Amino acid sequence: MKFCDHCGSMLVPDKSGKKKLVCMNCGKKIPLTGEKVVLKEDIKEKDKVEVVDAEVEVNPKVDMECPKCEHTKAYTWALQTRASDEGETRFYKCAKCGNRWRVYE
Ligand SMILES: [Zn+2]
Ligand SMILES: [Zn+2]
Protein backbone atom coordinates (compact mmCIF):
# COMPACT_ATOMS: atom_id res chain seq x y z
CA MET A 1 0.00 0.00 0.00
CA LYS A 2 1.30 3.41 -0.98
CA PHE A 3 0.17 6.82 0.12
CA CYS A 4 0.33 10.21 -1.52
CA ASP A 5 3.40 12.15 -0.43
CA HIS A 6 1.47 15.34 -1.06
CA CYS A 7 -1.66 14.87 1.07
CA GLY A 8 -1.27 11.43 2.63
CA SER A 9 -4.34 9.89 1.02
CA MET A 10 -4.41 6.38 -0.35
CA LEU A 11 -3.16 5.88 -3.89
CA VAL A 12 -5.13 3.78 -6.33
CA PRO A 13 -4.11 2.51 -9.78
CA ASP A 14 -4.69 5.09 -12.48
CA LYS A 15 -7.37 3.94 -14.91
CA SER A 16 -5.83 5.62 -17.94
CA GLY A 17 -2.27 4.49 -17.52
CA LYS A 18 -1.01 1.10 -16.46
CA LYS A 19 2.11 2.14 -14.63
CA LYS A 20 0.74 4.93 -12.52
CA LEU A 21 -0.91 5.44 -9.20
CA VAL A 22 -3.26 8.30 -8.64
CA CYS A 23 -4.22 9.97 -5.37
CA MET A 24 -7.89 9.56 -4.46
CA ASN A 25 -7.93 12.95 -2.78
CA CYS A 26 -5.82 15.43 -4.73
CA GLY A 27 -5.37 13.63 -8.02
CA LYS A 28 -1.58 13.63 -7.91
CA LYS A 29 -0.15 10.96 -10.18
CA ILE A 30 2.84 8.92 -9.19
CA PRO A 31 4.65 6.74 -11.72
CA LEU A 32 5.09 3.14 -10.66
CA THR A 33 8.72 2.18 -10.81
CA GLY A 34 10.43 -1.01 -9.83
CA GLU A 35 12.26 -1.08 -6.55
CA LYS A 36 15.79 0.02 -7.29
CA VAL A 37 18.73 -2.08 -6.24
CA VAL A 38 21.38 0.46 -7.14
CA LEU A 39 22.42 0.77 -3.53
CA LYS A 40 23.47 -2.87 -3.30
CA GLU A 41 25.56 -2.56 -6.44
CA ASP A 42 27.35 0.43 -4.97
CA ILE A 43 28.35 -1.64 -1.97
CA LYS A 44 29.69 -4.37 -4.22
CA GLU A 45 31.90 -1.83 -5.98
CA LYS A 46 33.40 -0.80 -2.68
CA ASP A 47 33.99 -4.42 -1.65
CA LYS A 48 36.20 -4.88 -4.69
CA VAL A 49 38.81 -2.72 -3.02
CA GLU A 50 39.01 -5.24 -0.18
CA VAL A 51 39.72 -8.24 -2.35
CA VAL A 52 42.46 -6.67 -4.47
CA ASP A 53 45.23 -9.19 -4.52
CA ALA A 54 47.95 -7.92 -6.78
CA GLU A 55 51.22 -9.72 -7.31
CA VAL A 56 52.52 -7.88 -4.32
CA GLU A 57 55.97 -9.43 -4.24
CA VAL A 58 56.98 -7.30 -7.22
CA ASN A 59 56.15 -4.19 -5.26
CA PRO A 60 58.74 -2.22 -3.31
CA LYS A 61 59.56 -3.19 0.23
CA VAL A 62 59.41 -0.38 2.75
CA ASP A 63 59.96 0.13 6.44
CA MET A 64 56.54 -0.39 7.90
CA GLU A 65 55.64 -2.22 11.03
CA CYS A 66 53.13 -5.01 10.67
CA PRO A 67 50.29 -4.53 13.14
CA LYS A 68 50.05 -8.28 13.54
CA CYS A 69 53.57 -9.64 13.98
CA GLU A 70 55.56 -6.41 14.34
CA HIS A 71 57.88 -7.31 11.46
CA THR A 72 59.29 -4.06 10.08
CA LYS A 73 59.29 -4.73 6.35
CA ALA A 74 56.24 -4.68 4.16
CA TYR A 75 55.42 -4.57 0.48
CA THR A 76 53.44 -1.56 -0.58
CA TRP A 77 51.30 -0.50 -3.46
CA ALA A 78 48.67 2.11 -4.07
CA LEU A 79 45.24 1.91 -5.57
CA GLN A 80 43.52 4.91 -7.04
CA THR A 81 39.87 4.93 -6.14
CA ARG A 82 37.43 5.91 -8.84
CA ALA A 83 36.44 9.19 -7.26
CA SER A 84 39.53 11.28 -7.83
CA ASP A 85 38.88 13.55 -4.86
CA GLU A 86 39.07 10.60 -2.49
CA GLY A 87 42.77 10.25 -3.15
CA GLU A 88 44.45 6.90 -3.15
CA THR A 89 44.47 3.99 -0.79
CA ARG A 90 47.84 2.58 0.09
CA PHE A 91 48.10 -1.13 0.75
CA TYR A 92 50.73 -2.93 2.74
CA LYS A 93 51.54 -6.58 2.98
CA CYS A 94 53.80 -7.89 5.68
CA ALA A 95 56.89 -9.51 4.16
CA LYS A 96 56.95 -12.05 6.97
CA CYS A 97 53.43 -13.15 7.85
CA GLY A 98 51.55 -11.96 4.79
CA ASN A 99 49.14 -9.84 6.79
CA ARG A 100 47.60 -7.12 4.68
CA TRP A 101 46.25 -3.75 5.70
CA ARG A 102 45.62 -0.42 4.13
CA VAL A 103 46.10 3.24 4.88
CA TYR A 104 44.10 6.11 3.48
CA GLU A 105 46.23 8.96 2.32
ZN1 LIG B 1 -2.80 13.49 -2.62
ZN1 LIG C 1 53.37 -9.57 9.87
Contacts from 21-29 at CB under 8 Å and sequence distance 24+?
28/4
Ligand closest to CA 72: 2
pTM of the predicted model as reported, rounded to 2 decimal places: 0.43
Q: Is 63 a catalytic residue?
A: no
Q: Please write down the HEC assignment for all residues of 62-94.
A: EECCCCCCCCCEEEEEEEECCCHHHCEEEEEEE
Domain boundaries, the chain: 52-104
CA of 34 to the centre of ligand 1 (A): 21
Q: 5-55, pLDDT tens digit by residue?
A: 889 999 888 877 667 889 999 998 888 765 544 455 555 555 555 545 555
How many residues does the structure list for the chain?
105
Q: Is 88 a catalytic residue?
A: no
Q: 91-102, pLDDT tens digit by residue?
A: 999 999 999 999
CA of 30 to the centre of ligand 2 (A): 57
52-104 sits in which CATH class?
A: mainly beta
- On the question of pLDDT at 104 being above 60, the answer is yes
User: Within a 13 Å sphere around the CA of 72, how many CA atoms are in the beta-carbon half?
Assistant: 1
Ligand closest to CA 30: 1
